[in-house]
Amino acid sequence: MTLLSRALCAALFLLPMDAFACATCGCTLSTDAAAGYSSQPGWRINLDYSYIDQGQLRSGTDPASPAQVVNQPSDPSAGGGEIEKHTINRYLNLSLTYRPNTDWGFTVVLPWVSRNHTTYGTQNAPFTPTETAPGQLSGVALSGLGDVKLMASWQGFLPTHNLGVQIGLKLPTGNDGGQGSDGTIYGHPKRFAYGPATGDALDTSLQAGTGSTDVIVGAYWYQAISQDFDAYADGQFQAAILHKLDQAGGDYRPGNQFTVSAGLRYEANPGWVPQVQINLLRKSRDLGALADTFDTAGTVVYLSPGITVNLRSNLQLYGFVQVPLYSHLQGYQLFPRWTATAGVSAGF
Position 19 scores a pLDDT of 43
- Are 187 and 290 in contact by the 8 Å Cβ rule? The answer is no
The beta strand positions in the chain, using DSSP E, are 42-60, 62-63, 80-99, 104-124, 138-145, 149-154, 163-170, 177-179, 185-187, 212-224, 229-243, 257-266, 272-283, 298-312, 315-347
Is residue 126 domain-resident? Answer: no
Three-state secondary-structure class, residue 206: helix
Tell me the longest C-alpha to C-alpha distance in the chain.
66
Is residue 135 domain-resident? Answer: no
Instruction: State the CATH number of the domain containing residue 187.
Output: 2.40.128.130
Is residue 322 domain-resident? Answer: yes
Q: Domain of 89?
A: 3-121+141-347
Three-state secondary-structure class, residue 118: strand
Query: Residue length, the chain?
Result: 348
Is residue 330 domain-resident? Answer: yes
* Number of separate domains in the chain: 1
Q: Which residues contact 91 (CB under 8 A, 6 or more apart)?
A: 16, 18, 27, 49, 50, 52, 111, 112, 113, 114, 146
pLDDT tens for the chain, 348 residues long, are 343 334 334 333 444 444 444 555 545 666 333 334 567 899 999 999 999 999 999 999 999 999 999 999 999 998 999 999 999 999 999 999 999 999 999 999 999 999 999 999 999 999 999 999 999 999 999 999 999 999 999 999 999 888 999 999 999 999 999 999 889 999 999 999 999 999 999 999 999 999 999 999 999 998 889 999 989 899 999 999 999 888 767 899 999 999 999 988 898 988 898 989 999 999 999 999 999 999 999 999 999 999 988 888 788 899 999 999 999 999 999 999 999 999 998 988
Position 43 scores a pLDDT of 94
Is residue 236 domain-resident? Answer: yes
Phi-psi group of 211: left, alpha or beta (phi > 0 → left; psi -120 to 50 → alpha; rest → beta): left
Position 4 scores a pLDDT of 35
DSSP class of residue 287?
A: B
Position 245 scores a pLDDT of 86
**Nearest partner of 9 among 36, 41, 27, judged by Cα:** 36
Position 24 scores a pLDDT of 54
pTM score, whole prediction: 0.90
Is residue 129 domain-resident? Answer: no
Is residue 257 domain-resident? Answer: yes
Q: Which residues contact 120 (CB under 8 A, 6 or more apart)?
A: 66, 82, 83, 84, 85, 131, 132, 136, 137, 138
- Are 118 and 138 in contact by the 8 Å Cβ rule? The answer is yes
Is residue 136 domain-resident? Answer: no
Position 21 scores a pLDDT of 45
